[in-house]
Structure 1
Amino acid sequence: METYHTFFRSRLADPDVTGTKGVEFEDFCLSRDLLMGIFEKGWEKPSPIQEASIGVALSGQDIIARAKNGTGKTGAYSIPVLEMIDPSVKDVQALIIVPTRELALQTSQICIELSKHIQLKIMVTTGGTDLRDDIMRLNGVVQLMIGTPGRVLDLIEKGIAKIAKCKVLVLDEADKLLGQDFQGALDNVIKHLPATRQIMLYSATFPYTVTTFMEKHMKKPYEINLMDELTLLGVTQYYAFVQEKQKVHCLNTLFRKASTMKIWIFRDIFKLRINQAIIFCNSTQRVELLAKKITEIG
């Protein structure tokens, strides 16, 4: 079994985020209210993926965009989506589909912050929540819906979510959405969209199934590829190859000796400092067991 450790250097000079061509948000002719939301969020200049994507999205063209995580993909599609929504039209005009509840909540919060001066009605819906709450909200005004595939399809098929006027569909983390778990649900969602819809796919990687999806549902999509390699510049990755029973001991060793530990990597010495950390696990059960164990050992 492998335990992966990633050490982050400063992102202030990371070309994946700052290596732009000098385009300003004002250059996209965005509404004043949306620009206010963008600047109040602290976004001063577009990142490379935003530079490459926003103008094309505003033109109404389908997009397949590939860029690393953490480089501003959410802003790359949410800014043009918010700009294209007509606040005077009370129907669902745009749909953003993501694979997980956590990402849906995160994306909706960004859209709410960006659009706070436009006063759009944004709804997030995911599986595992009370369907009655969604029914009540959709009986009112909803102009942008953000959700996971299963719940979105359920609302559409029940006649609760009406998307006949939905002109934009965004798939974020499209590599996961185009897998076997979601493919059928996405096909059924798209059947209910108008023929003139715009579809935009954003992801760090794309599976082979993207070709089938593109041929079936998209119209000469504009392709953006800002990926020479998967790892963000400014990030160094190491892994410890350990057996399953050694993982907790390995983590304990790393954290307890982090302030003084020196690591030999390819004849170079790196001094390891861990002030803050995130540990990813592959299941909720593993998360709970690991949290309990490392709490016990202090």
Structure 2
Amino acid sequence: MSEARFGELDIHPDIFRAISDLGFMAPTPVQDRAIPILQEGHDLFAQAQTGTGKTAAFAIPILEKVDPSLRHPQALVVVPTRELALQVTREFGALGKYRHAREAAIYGGVPYGTQDRALARGAAIVIGTPGRLLDHIERGTLDLSHLSVVILDEADRLLDMGFAPEVHRLLRHCPAKRQTALFSATLSVQVRDLARRFTHEPLQVAIDPEKANIDSVEQVYVEVLEQDKARALDELLRRFDTDQVLVFRHTKRGVDGLDQRLRKRGHDVAAIHGGMTQRQRERVMQRFRDGELHVLIATNVAARGLHIEDISHVVNYDLPEDADVFTHRAGRTGRAGKTGVAITFVGEWDFDEFDELREKAGVPFRKEALELYSG
């Protein structure tokens, strides 16, 4: 894709200037395909992971569409977590700095005052979590009757986290005549049903970046007894030259248990899972981004939505459930033109499943021997 491609997308000059300031050279695949669809006013159903540039894919057309002089919400972006609300708001601010369209981040766990003031000043773009958005509607501080576009970002996570009733209620407060777009990492039956109910003849886009960048990830597997996995991980963390490491476990209990064991072995480590509050997860993620933590242990669901460029190694402490989960996990490393390493632990009961996973994934694996089993 040539560097001139952003110019070929016919983007508003103010936004194009901001894109140039950010150093973006060319649109990502989801931007290249989704931006024209949204510019033309179509509804959209897009499969795109975190890390694909999907936020800009809907932020750019929204910033073109809204009128900064109007003092009411014209665009709504619904997100599953406070962290994502802040992340999306920052991106709107960066892309829209020459458009001067106000945005407001609306999420729970904080007092209403700052959000009330942001809405009263005339936010054109509202980004928020379902529960707090509904609270503002009921308090009379948020009016969605003038919206022209609604985005459901990470729609599958919204459903996974039990927000379906709130999303349905929110959309009933929006004008029937509007543009609606769903962005989702997966195309589950529930997500398809949501798209069917709330979009009108949507065009579909499917981007799977994890598969696209898996070629830049070296695949390693380690045969290890279940009881020895913590010792094996400790050994590998000390042997490998790692920047930051993301470790996957199936359960919250498993995440917390491994967190404690690695702490005792002297590692800078933290855990993230669905049993934590948004504030707790956000604090951990900020420490990881700031480089205070070497290792982050996460469940699949909690790791969704993470966008961190410097993950050098991913560790499948528990064998992934299927090839898609494996591919998505591995795709957390090897981003932004860098190479990465994905290490998969194969326990004594995992050999058949691992052989099947390796065949379906279609990538070569290198076996790594453990020193703890030598001699």
Q: Give the conservation status (yes or no) of the 8 Å contact 1:68–1:230.
A: no
Per the alignment, residue 225 of structure 1 pairs with 206
Per the alignment, residue 149 of structure 2 pairs with 168
The offset of 1:215, in angstroms, is 2.5
**TM norm structure 2:** 0.64
Residues 203-212 or 273-282, more deviating: 273-282
- The letter of the residue matching 2:82 is R
Provide the identity percentage: 32
- Alpha-carbon spacing, 1:134–1:251, altered in 2? closer, same or farther (3 Å): same
Per the alignment, residue 274 of structure 1 pairs with 242
The offset of 1:289, in angstroms, is 7.2
Per the alignment, residue 108 of structure 2 pairs with 127
Per the alignment, residue 94 of structure 1 pairs with 75
Q: Give the conservation status (yes or no) of the 8 Å contact 1:23–1:51.
A: no
Q: CA–CA distance in 2 between the matches of 1:109 and 1:280?
A: 28
Per the alignment, residue 141 of structure 1 pairs with 122
What number of residue pairs does the alignment pair up? 265
Per the alignment, residue 257 of structure 1 pairs with 239
- The letter of the residue matching 2:139 is K
Q: Any idea what the Cα deviations from partners look like across 1:161-210, whole Å, max 9, x if unmatched?
A: 11111111111111112346011111000001111111111122121012
Q: Give the conservation status (yes or no) of the 8 Å contact 2:70–2:122.
A: no
Q: Give the conservation status (yes or no) of the 8 Å contact 1:174–1:206.
A: no
Q: Any idea what the Cα deviations from partners look like across 1:41-64, whole Å, max 9, x if unmatched?
A: 111211111111101101111100
- The letter of the residue matching 1:107 is V
Structure 1 unaligned spans of 5+? 1-19, 259-272
Q: CA–CA distance in 2 between the matches of 1:160 and 1:245?
A: 55
Q: CA–CA distance in 2 between the matches of 1:89 and 1:291?
A: 53
Q: CA–CA distance in 1 between the matches of 2:248 and 2:124?
A: 35
Q: CA–CA distance in 1 between the matches of 2:29 and 2:212?
A: 16
Per the alignment, residue 14 of structure 1 pairs with none
Q: CA–CA distance in 1 between the matches of 2:50 and 2:221?
A: 20
Residues 63-72 or 243-252, more deviating: 243-252
Per the alignment, residue 110 of structure 1 pairs with 91
Per the alignment, residue 151 of structure 1 pairs with 132
The offset of 1:35, in angstroms, is 0.8
- The letter of the residue matching 1:235 is V
Q: CA–CA distance in 2 between the matches of 1:288 and 1:136?
A: 43
Q: Greater helix share, 1 or 2? A: 2
Give 1:11-160 correspondences, 5 Å limit: 20=1, 24-160=5-141
- Alpha-carbon spacing, 1:165–1:232, altered in 2? closer, same or farther (3 Å): same
- The letter of the residue matching 1:277 is V
The offset of 1:256, in angstroms, is 1.2
Q: CA–CA distance in 2 between the matches of 1:101 and 1:280?
A: 22
Higher relative contact order (CA 8 A, sep 6+): 1
Q: CA–CA distance in 1 between the matches of 2:170 and 2:195?
A: 15
- The letter of the residue matching 2:238 is R
Question: Considering only aligned residues, what root-mean-square deviation do their CA atoms show, in Å?
Answer: 2.7
- The letter of the residue matching 1:29 is D
The offset of 1:240, in angstroms, is 5.3
The offset of 1:157, in angstroms, is 2.5
Structure 2 unaligned spans of 5+? 268-375
- The letter of the residue matching 2:172 is K
**TM norm structure 1:** 0.79
- The DSSP-based 3-state class of the residue aligned with 2:244 is coil
Q: Any idea what the Cα deviations from partners look like across 1:72-128, whole Å, max 9, x if unmatched?
A: 111111111111111111111111111111111111111101111111111112121
- The letter of the residue matching 1:221 is P
2:170 corresponds to 1:202 = no
Q: CA–CA distance in 1 between the matches of 2:2 and 2:227?
A: 50
- Alpha-carbon spacing, 1:251–1:43, altered in 2? closer, same or farther (3 Å): same
Q: Give the conservation status (yes or no) of the 8 Å contact 2:137–2:143.
A: yes
